[in-house]
Chains A and B, each alone.
Chain A
């Protein structure tokens, strides 16, 4: 067997990875300080006063995208990752930056065990039936 295992020494197209390495957008950070890991279904909501994120030169284009995407319809972390085609870890760091800068806030999901009562689960059942 050759040194590269599969007998392949080149990566083409998608296999070669993105042109900008994803974690370059976070300047190498894999977590943001002070933030508990954001759940995939935590919802990101743009603050009403964040009307011109592009004017902030501290923000990357990806930061601005998140602020704009979450303005009219709040988005979950998973949706943002899919929409922006970024790894979840990168989205977490970027959202953490935006929370620190008060451009967005995040609603963490309530764990089912901590739901105040069962009515939400009944609403889920009724909602599913009505689909």
Chain B
């Protein structure tokens, strides 16, 4: 937490905030990616599954416990005093997908991280963003020791639409993650331009 950035008496700058989601299977490097570019160590925020009207978790067998926690990791990049980008790692388990709906509302776009050893782990995320027309790119996290495949092969294995960018990346490497995020924003811009054209023609 930074205090004292503004002098007393001066109204603080009220930034414009944007968010990009980081999705993918368990252990694919979502939190690592967030940590590679965030100016704060990835923070963890939690929600209890006790909110009224939520689909109820099946607690049979664990009657002693009535709440479950969904954790999301997130990071912050202050691009300018008045422009802040947040990165949110989506919760992995499928039963927490209601959190995805909330996270993806108003999101600029998403990075879907994939691991070539377990490609099927990111199918759900690809599906999710396709269905909701949220611009995303697939970043193939190049784990040491994992087999490398040509981009085209991975694209085919994922059955990606032609318009969806796919790139190799290293979730630990700041430059690589920056490139992926820039790719998401560029894709989002192109996507928005496309949509405008379909509306006007």
Query: A-side interface residues toward B, CB under 8 Å?
Result: 1, 3-6, 8-11, 15, 17, 22-23, 30-31, 37, 39-43, 45, 48, 69, 71-74, 76, 78-79, 81-83, 87-89, 107, 109-113, 118, 120-125, 127-129, 131
Nearest residue (CB) in A for B175 is A131
Interface string of B73-87 (1 = CB under 8 A from A): 010110110011110
Does A74 contact B14, Cβ atoms closer than 8 Å?
Answer: yes
Would you give the shortest CB distance from B77 to chain A, in whole angstroms?
Answer: 7
Q: Which of B91-144 contact A (CB under 8 A)?
A: 102-103, 105-109
Contact B188–A121 (Cβ < 8 Å): yes
Contacts of B188 in A (CB 8 A): 112, 121
B5: chain A residues at CB < 8 Å are 72-73
Residue of A nearest to B103 (CB): A40
Q: Could you tell me if B45 and A73 are in contact, using CB atoms closer than 8 angstroms?
A: no
Cβ contacts under 8 Å, B79 to chain A: 123-124, 127-128
Beta-carbon contact of A131 and B44 below 8 Å: no
CB distance from A118 to the nearest CB of B (A): 6
15 more CB-based (< 8 A) A-B contacts, given A43-B14, A81-B46, A128-B182: A5-B62, A23-B48, A31-B52, A40-B88, A40-B102, A45-B14, A71-B12, A78-B74, A87-B47, A110-B16, A113-B192, A118-B189, A118-B192, A124-B108, A131-B178
Pair count A-B, CB < 8 A: 153
> Residues of A contacting B12 with CB < 8 Å?
45, 71-74
Residue of B nearest to A29 (CB): B52
Name the CB-closest residue of A to B51: A30
Which secondary structure dominates where chain B touches chain A? mixed
CA distance A34 to B79 in the complex (A): 33
Complex Cα gap A37–B182 (Å): 29
- In the complex, the answer to whether A120 meets B181 with C-beta atoms within 8 Å is no
CA A52 – CA B88 in complex, angstroms? 34
> What are 8 A-B pairs at a CB distance below 8 A?
A4-B61, A40-B74, A43-B15, A73-B2, A111-B106, A118-B192, A124-B83, A125-B182
| Alpha-carbon gap, A74 to B16, bound state (A) | 11
A21 to chain B, nearest CB (A): 9
